[in-house]
Structure 1
Amino acid sequence: MAISAALLTGAAAPPPTVEVSVSGLRSMKGQILVCLTTNPKAFPDCSKDKGSVRMAVKAAEAADFAVRAPATGTYAIAVVHDENSNNKMDTAIFLPKEGFGFSRNPTITVGPPSFKSASFVVEHDIRQSIKMKYML
């Protein structure tokens, strides 16, 4: 009985990994700020979600990097090309001066896309390719 109980409670599988590739950077300056969240109300600004995964990746390494999802679930990713490395998106008259992108590359009209249009299900390791957009 102890052996079967050990098998049932054995080591859990590691959390899934989201492999991310970012294309269309206008320069290799600065860093890419990454936000991975399951919270629609915190998208695309992860600062409102304590359970989000936030990280910075050097722009020169943004072609391919990994983000560890905390668990399986429905996630969305937002990225910002923080060219001057000040850890925020700079704006001019409410328009982003730096590049941005989202998982599933939804169409951008006015304002950021909805969580639903950028979300994807993570049940196992998965890949997302994000194309950067620049307004100015």
Structure 2
Amino acid sequence: MAALTLLTGASAPPPSVEAPSVEVGITGLRNMKGQVLVCLTTNPKAFPDCSKDKASVRMAVKATDAAHFKVVAPTAGTYAIAVVHDENSNNKMDVAIFLPKEGFGFSRNPTITVGPPSFKSASFAVTGDTSQSIKMKYMF
């Protein structure tokens, strides 16, 4: 009887659920200097600068490794990615007369006119592992 109680009273541990990941590929880097700063956020108000989103995923990837890398999303949801080619590795986008001196790009590669794209134009659903290909843009 005790063995029956052990078998029926014990519950199996819940299956572990891995956080979804986004495979990112960056094309169009003008050189392999420095690093690529990556921002993954679900917060439209924090896009494209993740500094105001404590829940965002921020990372730096060596430019030589930027053709293919993985970003782990905290949970499933709607995300947008912004990247900066930080050629001089000073951990910020350098600007000249309000224009970026370094390259940048966004998930879904929205058209850039004046200023950064909206969160909506760069956002995509993450419900499991997914991928994004981002083309870098340089102003000069």
TM-score exceeds 0.5 = yes
Q: Aligned residues, how many? A: 133
Structure 1 vs Structure 2 CA RMSD: 1.0
- Which of 35, 39, 62 aligns to 1:35? It is 39
1:119 paired residue number: 123
Q: TM-score, normalised by structure 2?
A: 0.92
Where do residues 32-111 of structure 1 align in structure 2 (5 Å cutoff)? 32-111=36-115
Q: Identity of aligned pairs, percent?
A: 76
Alpha-carbon distance between aligned partners in 1 of 2:30 and 2:15, rounded to the nearest angstrom: 44
Instruction: List alignment gaps of at least 5 residues for structure 1.
Output: none
SS of residue in 2 equivalent to 1:44 = coil
- Structure 1 runs, 4 residues or longer, greater than 3 Å off: none
Partner of 1:132: 136
Q: Deviations over 1:38-69 (max 9, x none)?
A: 00000000000000000000000000000000
Q: Secondary structure at the match of 2:51?
A: helix
Gaps of 5+ in 2: 1-7
Could you tell me how far 1:18 is from its partner in structure 2? 0.1
When the two structures are superposed, what TM-score results if normalisation uses the length of structure 1? Answer: 0.95
